[in-house]
Chain A
Amino acid sequence: MEEEFRGGRPQLFDFITNGRDWSDKGGYGAAEEKNLELRLGLPGGEDWSAVQEKREHPAESAVSPGHIAKIPKSTNMSASSGAKRGCSDAVDSKPEGTLADKTTFQQQHLQQQQLGFLQLQAKGKESLHRTSGSAGLQSLEGKVCGPHAAHASSTKNTTATHSTSQSRAAAAPVVGWPPIRSFRKNLAGTAKASAESPNRRSEAEKKLENDRKGLFVKINMDGIPIGRKVDLKAYDSYEKLSLAVDELFRGLLMAAQMDLLTATTHSTKETHLISGLLDRSGEYTLVYEDDEGDKMLVGDVPWDMFVSTAKRLRVLKSSDLCASPLSPGEIRRRTNDC
Chain B
Amino acid sequence: MTYFPEEVVEHIFDFLSSHRDRNIVSTVCKAWYRVERLSRRIVFVGNCYAVRPGRVMARFPGMKCLSVKGKPHFADFNLVPHDWGGFALPWIEAAARGCPGLEELRLKRMVVSDESLELLARSFPNFKALVLVSCEGFTTDGLAAIATHCRGLRELDLQENEVEDHGRQWLSCFPDSCTSLESLNFACLKGEVNAGALERLVARCVNLRSLKLNRAISVESLARILARTPHLVELGTGSFTVEHRAEAYQRLIHAFRKCKSLKSLSGFWDVAPRCLQSIYSICPNLTVLNLSYAPAIQGADLVKLIRHCFKLQKLWVLDCIGDKGLAVVASTCQELQELRVFPSDIYGTGTAAVTEEGLVAISSGCSKLNSLLYFCHQMTNAALITVAKNCPHFTRFRLCILDPGKPDPDTNQPLDEGFGAIVRSCKDLRRLSLSGLLTDKVFLYIGEYAARLEMLSIAFAGDSDKGMVYVLNGCKNLRKLEIRDSPFGDAALLVNVGKYETMRSLWMSSCDVTLGGCKALAAKMPRLNVEVINDRDESDEMEENPSDMHKVEKMYVYRTLAGARNDAPEFVEIL
A residues apposed to B, CB below 8 Å:
118, 121, 147, 149-156, 158-159, 161-162, 164-166, 168-169, 174-185, 187-192, 194-195, 201, 204-205, 208, 218, 220, 225-227, 229, 312
Contacts and interface: CB of A to CB of B under 8 A. Distances in A.
Contacts of B474: none
Contacts of B74: 176, 179
B236 interface: no
Interface residues of B, number: 48
B246 interface: no
For A191, A195, A229, the residue with the greatest tally of chain B CB atoms inside 10 Å of its CB is A191
Contacts of B352: 151, 154-156
A147 B405 contact: yes
A62 to B, nearest CB: 29
A149 to B, nearest CB: 6
A208 B345 CA distance: 12
Contacts of B78: 175-176, 182
B544 to A, nearest CB: 13
Contacts of B486: 166
28 contacts: A118-B349, A147-B405, A150-B377, A151-B378, A151-B402, A153-B350, A159-B412, A165-B404, A166-B405, A166-B487, A168-B485, A169-B404, A169-B460, A174-B485, A176-B484, A178-B343, A178-B402, A179-B76, A179-B77, A180-B77, A180-B343, A180-B375, A184-B292, A184-B342, A192-B295, A226-B541, A227-B537, A312-B537
A194 to B, nearest CB: 8
B347 interface: yes
Nearest to B404: A169
Residue among B76, B293, B346, B433 facing the most chain A CB atoms (10 A cut-off): B346
Nearest to B349: A201
B480 interface: no
B295 A165 contact: no
Contacts of B345: 188, 192
Minimum-distance CB pairs A-B, first 10: A191-B295, A165-B405, A176-B77, A150-B348, A150-B403, A218-B537, A169-B404, A176-B79, A188-B344, A147-B403
Contacts of A218: 537, 540
Contacts of A161: 412
Nearest to B511: A168
A175 B79 CA distance: 7
Given A191-B296, A227-B537, A227-B541, A166 B404 contact: yes
Contacts of A151: 348, 352, 377-378, 402-403, 406
Nearest to A225: B541
Interface in B421-461: 433, 437, 457, 459-460
Nearest to B319: A188
Given A164-B407, A182-B78, A177 B459 contact: yes
B77 A177 contact: yes
Contacts of A205: 347, 349
A205 B214 CA distance: 26
A128 to B, nearest CB: 15
B409 interface: yes
Interface string B329-350: 0000000000000111111111
Contacts of B293: 187
Nearest to B78: A176
B160 interface: yes
Nearest to A181: B76
B386 interface: no
Nearest to A194: B296
Interface in B519-554: 537, 540-541
Given A164-B437, A176-B79, A225-B541, A195 B407 contact: no
A192 B541 CA distance: 39
B400 interface: yes
Nearest to B352: A154
Nearest to A147: B403
Nearest to B343: A178
Nearest to B509: A176
Contacts of A177: 77, 404, 459
A159 B408 CA distance: 11
A190 B403 CA distance: 22
B451 to A, nearest CB: 25
Contacts of A165: 403-406, 437, 460
Residue of A121, A147, A225 ringed by the most chain B CB atoms within 10 A: A147
Contacts of B77: 176-177, 179-181
A189 to B, nearest CB: 8
B510 interface: yes
A294 B346 CA distance: 38
A156 B357 CA distance: 14
Interface in B72-87: 74, 76-79
A153 B378 contact: no
Given A176-B77, A201-B350, 16 more contacts: A147-B405, A153-B350, A154-B377, A156-B409, A158-B406, A166-B405, A175-B79, A177-B77, A179-B433, A180-B342, A180-B343, A187-B295, A192-B344, A201-B349, A205-B347, A218-B537
B275 to A, nearest CB: 15
Nearest to A174: B404
A150 B349 CA distance: 7
Contacts of A183: 160
Contact of A185 (B346, B433, B485): B346
A195 B459 contact: no
Contacts of B409: 156, 158
A162 B407 contact: yes
Contacts of B344: 188, 191-192
B351 interface: yes
Interface string B404-420: 11110100100000000
A267 B105 CA distance: 67
B357 to A, nearest CB: 12
A227 B350 CA distance: 35
A24 B68 CA distance: 73
